[in-house]
Copies of this chain bind each other. A is one copy, B any other.
């Protein structure tokens, strides 16, 4: 009967709409305060507080006190990956939210997946990197090639630094809107940060979507071409 790990517990944690909305908001990668998360969940702060306590007890969230604020983030990237996994699954079943909403297209185009780029642009970037031989792909697995390492140096990313971290360099992450893989891992994170640095793109206030400037978009598309 009772075999293996307790999936019901974390299912229940994710299964509440308010909590799910808060977790989704945190997929944006930014640390959010309890009040912000309450808004994201559509509930009062009191209620949010109890939810956050549960999520923290379940080790889905980590919090950092800073002055009189409490900043919450996803506990680690395993949580982000799990959530994106579930999103991909839900999207595959056609269990999209029923209101497509005005933000939906922007979200599909480019958004943050915990700490890296997802959506059409994210998928395109990985495809392009694979096509030009910068990344080797076997199934779900990704590995940076020597050629890729120099390509990235041109963009201004020193792979050596990234390799020092314990976190895997390249990781594929299933994109729920495109239903294909995009690039995660420390390299995916570094690339997204670079786009922000260069002013090509910026985050949006209360959403996971990423907005490219006209110039930034041009540069991005040129840097990551898709062979027709």
Contacts and interface: CB of A to CB of B under 8 A. Distances in A.
Nearest to A208: B3
A185 B25 CA distance: 33
Contact of A3 (B3, B13, B86, B207): B207
Interface string A18-58: 01110111000000000000011010000000000000001
A62 to B, nearest CB: 12
17 contacts: A1-B21, A1-B25, A1-B40, A4-B107, A5-B96, A5-B97, A5-B176, A6-B97, A7-B14, A8-B15, A11-B11, A11-B16, A58-B95, A78-B92, A85-B85, A139-B170, A141-B141
The residue in A8, A83, A95 that gathers the most chain B C-beta atoms within 10 A of its C-beta is: A8
Given A82-B85, A139-B171, A172-B140, A11 B5 contact: no
Copies assembled? 2
Contacts of A136: 138
Please tell me the size bucket of the interface on A. Answer: 35 or more
A87 B6 CA distance: 7
Contact of A15 (B11, B90, B101, B140): B11
A87 B7 CA distance: 6
